[in-house]
Structure 1
Amino acid sequence: MAVARNFCKNGDVVRTLPLIQAAVLCHPAVVTVDDFKGNISLRHHYWHKKLLAHSLYDLFMLLLSEVKVPISILGAEIDQMCPPEVVKQFEDVLTAKPEVKSHVKIFPKVAHGWTVRYNVEDKAACKAAEEAHQDLLEWFLNHIKSLVKIFPEVEPEVRRDDEADCKVAEEANQDLVFVFVNSEEKKKKEIMASSECCSNPPALNPSSGSGHVEKLGGFDSYVTGSPDSKLAVLLVHDAFGYEAPKARMLADKIAAAGFIVVLPDFFNRDPFNGDLASIPVWIKAHAPDKTIEDAKLVIEALKSKGVSAIGAVGFCWGGKGVVELAKHDFIQAAVLCHPSFVTLDDIKAVKVPISVLGAEIDQLTPPEVVKQFEEVLTAKPEIKSHVKIFPKIAHGWTLRYNDEDEAAVKAAEEAHQDLLGWFLEHIK
């Protein structure tokens, strides 16, 4: 991989794109459709001088705000961070730009990170990795004719700064160097979008809240509100599970408005423990898009108790499960609070009234993506919708706000009031 020697850690990537000759994205993370369409994100940084870059390391972000050069995208079939449906969206955008040469490929039966973290004992994994390596090499050979120089005899040196931990091999008086992201250190910084999903973790308390725990649909569930109510709200928790005190406090608040509220333990006593290095394994064990099957069991249990109308709200991890429910008639209204893993295709398929509450500071579902959701919903006037981006607050604020921060508390209360108002309007 060849890049310019000079690295500038601040700025806008659009200023360097005319100087890029080719790019490859391998199982990318935190790349959005807007990156390919030309919208600019505050997340972007740039390298100065001639640039050629690709990612062979987990969660290395190559965020292109306006693709103008030949680009290849190598995706994985099993990838929660950049799932196949998102890669296909990238392909649609690139296909609509025939002036830019592009290549998009989804490797079957492999998982995120397969190009550099394959099991050497697994012949199929080795074969898939070698195929990807050959694809990216051929892409560079086809599109980088005169710039790339390789200096294998040069021992890399380590350069560190606030923006990146890199190993740099360079030859004096040359325009090009090799830059490889130190994946172990980058992983801790960038995994799950700078750990936004896991910031400010709650102190779990199984005794918190004014409700009680009972079995519903086979799941331990925190239940609060009148058992005689015919109107229910299903809360789908974030990565920290159903024993988070603020999640239960919110359930109690919604119940006070006349609903029976259910907060099931969809992790079966295995919430995220705060270990960032374990996130990929944990996510694989708790795939958010599979929540719909578990939630259906809880919904059936509620209906067996006489409930006639149900709303559902999902927080972060729980947003994906709720949007899946909203594609069917399992629920009558939905709210997504700073959702994760939700795609444009998900929003396009929604069939019930939906409210999306986003944060201005959110790498998982940034404001530009929330605005795309709004555009899709606006084009479906038959589906009532509400989209709101809360300024100056970060992902997770509705359940993990700091009690000492008055502005954070106020923003959380405003979001709580918004979602309650949505359910009062649509769950009748």
Structure 2
Amino acid sequence: MSEATTYIAKVRDEIVSRDPNQPEFLEAIDNFFNSITPVLEKHPEYIKANLLGRLTEPERAFQFRVPWVDDAGNVQVNRGFRVQFNGAIGPYKGGLRFHPSVNLSIVKFLGFEQIFKNSLTGLPIGGAKGGSDFDPKGKSDNEVMRFTQSFMTELQKHIGPDLDVPAGDIGVGAREIGFMYGQYRRLNGYQAGVLTGKSLQFGGSLARTEATGFGLLYYTAAMLKDQGETLEGKTIKLSGAGNVAIYAAQKAAELGATVLTASDSNGYVYDPNGIDYKIVKQIKEVERGRIKDYADRVATATYYEGSVWDFDVDYDIALPCATQNEIDGGRAARAIQNGAKIVNAGANMPCTPEAVKAFKQAAVIVGPAKAANAGGVAVSALEMSQNSERLSWTFEEVDQLLKRIMEDIFKESAEAAKTYGLGNDYLAGANIAGFKKVAEAMMAQGVI
């Protein structure tokens, strides 16, 4: 084995012995390590500096108790987390996820991925992630307010506009961001740049709501352009019905593609005429209903229980926008049989390693989350810039910057893959391109 291969194996063994019960984090580590051997072979100084050992250990991680009172007067307790993974290139930046599945392993996996996603944007932001095992579904506005105020009372000790700037993620939308910002302001005074994804009335950015979904399609369009094609006439199987999925469906329609499906945790709808994102938005964002309601309103749509990835229909592009590991090896095989040529990640790590392997063997192009869904954090960073300037940019200005950033991310990932002889392995290319900037910053800053 080469020195690089031996070193990677050594670091991985250390991580496994230290964190054996963190499967999501270990999966993220493996996905990353599988890509960067050629970089370490070219840069033995990274090995001597034990760069991977330092990069895979968070700079700091917090776990804290979140007590709150429900509407019945009962005291509930949840766990809160914040992992500030790497700040070599700028203040920590990453979302907060409220979902029953949240634990330290998931937060570490998301924070580790965020390092390279943020690096790829070309903006000066480091990687972090956080959240709680609190489930906002079925909770009243007052319950959500009491929980988020308690959560922020602890979190505010560790964040700030030039230190760590959280944003939203699954389960954390405008309502939750508003409540948390209000509590932060109550305790610390007005500091607009401490959270992103805010409402426009108090420092939010136009196009932030649309950013991840729009960015996913800008990235997909750049990928197709590299192949001499466009989105015009393409069919898309999409999972999810949240923020990313809704605005991905909107931009896909604007660029001439047809989105056939949308889903939530109960099931999915199929509409051969194309999903109407406006109806999905009304159901999920306004009414807080279930995707089943879509089929009750659209005559051409059919509702099915289960996973959309177990449904057979011919399509060109897969856009998984729901959650991690939603496509396994068996579902990847089905996607290949259905004709998928491109799989771009709207969610974080939506494909298992077995699925990625199957796609590569079938010459299906995979766009990783750290590249394909970086639009959200890119516009969050642009929101930070607007807050610092005390200015608000137009929707068109932000959208054009987003489009350029996503095109640049694809270009840098593609060039990195080609430089290291990896063809169109954009997953490896994104890992390498994101890693190199962080690695150079860490090397320049000494052993910290």
TM-score (norm. length: structure 1): 0.34
Structure with the bigger RCO (C-alpha within 8 Å, sep 6+) is 2
TM-score (norm. length: structure 2): 0.33
| Larger-gyration structure (1/2) | 1
* Structure in which a larger fraction of residues adopt strand: 1
